[in-house]
Structure 1
Amino acid sequence: MTRVLVLYYSSYGHVRSLARAEAEGASSVPGTRVDIRRVPETVPDEVRQSAGFIADDTPVAAPADLEAYDAIIFGTPTRFGLMAGQMKTFLDQAGGLWARNALEGKVGAVFTSTGTQHGGHEATLLSTHVPLLHLGMVVVGLPYSFSGLTAGNEITGCAPYGAGTIAGADGSRAPTTAEMDGARYQGAHVARIAARLAGVDLRREVA
């Protein structure tokens, strides 16, 4: 089995919705086992409640868990063109994995959400690739074989650097069908590449 982890942080649910779509896409590839986990919250409960953050009972991951997977798909909101502090805090604890080259050769990918069309989602995707490269991961984006990247009939948060959604300035815009499709496509794309790197014969798995 190829093991894929979808690891995310979500304040208002947009990234969580995309995480589920990423997992659906990865699960569609034969011989793939997918887990969904979130990074620990760093904001006090009273602040979460006053800000209207979603309640989320998704199991929490620890940095040591990452080593068990062939691919990790990271989901984070955009904060001024960068990953959320919660995700940064989690990755900052991966020094032990880095020291042992524990994630070298594993597939890494990123998806995101931002408030507005020019709110920095592409910068977030690209800047989040940086620590994955330091960890020795093979970075995978969202290829143009996903036709939604060339559609011009609606605003989309998807980019060749990864899937995404535009939440709206007030957070009221839910991920569109096209954005969810982009996340599913990326999840499947990551799972297929991870299987090849792990030496899994997909033709045999299908048979």
Structure 2
Amino acid sequence: MRVSIVYDSGFGHTARIAQAVADGVADVQNAEAMLMAVGDGPVSWETLEASDAIIFGSPTYNGLVSARFKQFMEDSTKAAWSPQKWRNKIGAGFTNSGAYSGNKLNSLISMALFAAQHGMIWVGLDLMRGNSRSNSSANELNRLGSWLGAVAQSNMDEGPEIAPISSDLQTAAHLSRRVAAIARQFGHKDLSVPQEKMSA
């Protein structure tokens, strides 16, 4: 079973999260991760079509996904959207920004809508919010309290070897393990939907 991770990273922080996502996939038996950085050139549409799940990742800049990730989304129109090649695939997403909020939710919503337009099945986090009590800490999973996808925060004066912190990486890995497990579950089912005839 293959889970492809399509992501952009401006300064290496989101790439570090993408690696954590790949590590999470590898924790699931008989699952393999395929990392695709959109900044490295055209992605392999054939590989994405053959994948059981696709996880999208982008930094959040000005409350939006990056320009390169947006270009990937637009390029998919001819390659995958028109023929609906990703229909019924499992999808999920992650994002990162320097601010604790940074309107990261907007990036996740754009990814989820993108997946919906492709007929994909979106998977969110199944974690309770962390770091939300006086006796809790930033070391808890889902410390930023997101459910639509995994979010992370990286201090702008720290490189990717330091930021984001371990709990954000572990949260991303948790999401990808869930995606791989659900993709395996759905892989044994007939997801075909009868097409209704259009009335004249």
Letter in 2 for 1:174: A
Could you say which residue in structure 2 is the equivalent of 1:66? 48
- Residues 153-197 of structure 1: CA distance to partner in whole angstroms, max 9, x if unpaired? 229446111112111244556011111110110010000011111
Could you say which residue in structure 2 is the equivalent of 1:204? none
Could you say which residue in structure 2 is the equivalent of 1:154? 138
Contact 1:14 1:165 in 2 (8 A): no
Q: Find the residue that maps to 1:20 and give its secondary structure.
A: helix
* 2: CA distance, partners of 1:60 / 1:151: 39
Could you say which residue in structure 1 is the equivalent of 2:12? 13
Could you say which residue in structure 1 is the equivalent of 2:72? 90
Contact 2:130 2:145 in 1 (8 A): no
C-alpha displacement of 1:141: 1.2
Q: Find the residue that maps to 1:165 and give its secondary structure.
A: strand
Structure-to-structure mapping, 1:89-108, within 5 angstroms: 89-96=71-78, 97-108=80-91
- Residues 51-79 of structure 1: CA distance to partner in whole angstroms, max 9, x if unpaired? xxxxxxxx862344311101011110002
Q: Find the residue that maps to 1:94 and give its secondary structure.
A: helix
Structure-to-structure mapping, 1:107-118, within 5 angstroms: 107-118=90-101
Structure-to-structure mapping, 1:1-207, within 5 angstroms: 2-40=1-39, 61-96=43-78, 97-144=80-127, 149-152=129-132, 153-154=137-138, 156-157=143-144, 159-172=146-159, 174-199=163-188
Letter in 2 for 1:129: A
Letter in 1 for 2:12: G
Letter in 1 for 2:23: E
Identity %: 29
C-alpha displacement of 1:87: 0.7
Q: CA RMSD in A?
A: 2.0
* 1: CA distance, partners of 2:4 / 2:91: 10
Could you say which residue in structure 2 is the equivalent of 1:44? none
Task: Tell me which moved more, 155-164 or 73-82.
Answer: 155-164
75 and 157 in structure 1: CA distance in 2 versus 1, 3 angstrom threshold: farther
Contact 2:4 2:33 in 1 (8 A): yes
Q: TM-score w.r.t. structure 1 length?
A: 0.79
Point out where structure 1 has 5 or more consecutive residues left out of the alignment.
42-58, 201-207
- Residues 77-118 of structure 1: CA distance to partner in whole angstroms, max 9, x if unpaired? 002221111011011111231111110000111101111112
Pairs aligned (count)? 179
Q: TM-score w.r.t. structure 2 length?
A: 0.82
* 2: CA distance, partners of 1:194 / 1:158: 24
Contact 2:60 2:66 in 1 (8 A): yes
* 1: CA distance, partners of 2:88 / 2:145: 25
Point out where structure 2 has 5 or more consecutive residues left out of the alignment.
190-200
- Residues 125-170 of structure 1: CA distance to partner in whole angstroms, max 9, x if unpaired? 12221111101111111112xx5x3333229446111112111244
